[in-house]
Amino acid sequence: MASNGPSCAVCRFMRSLAFSAIGGGVAGYTALGLGLSQSNAIIAAFFGALGLVVLTSRKSNNGR
């Protein structure tokens, strides 16, 4: 990510996988830590993963 040029499809895919894992893990374990049920934690993990991927994709597109 040092250059501002276009990134390849594999790089974008790997970056989205990494950020979805981070977002899902943080949101899911936070939900469990707050005492929510496991099904609610799974839902929170899904939206946490989706939110972080969308946030980072918008942030990288604003610089172009």
Mean pLDDT, residues 47-61: 84
Task: Name the packing angle between helices 38-62 and 9-33 (round to 10°).
Answer: 140
Sequence-separated (6 or more) residues with CB below 8 Å from residue 27:
44, 45, 47, 48, 49, 51
Q: pTM for the full model? A: 0.74
* Per-residue pLDDT reduced to its tens digit, 7-44: 788 888 898 899 999 999 999 999 999 999 999 999 99
pLDDT band at 61 (very low <50, low <70, confident <90, very high): low
**63 pLDDT higher than 60:** no
Structure tokens at 27: 């949101």
- pLDDT reported for residue 35: 95
Coil, strand or helix: which one is 6?
A: coil
pLDDT at 24: 94
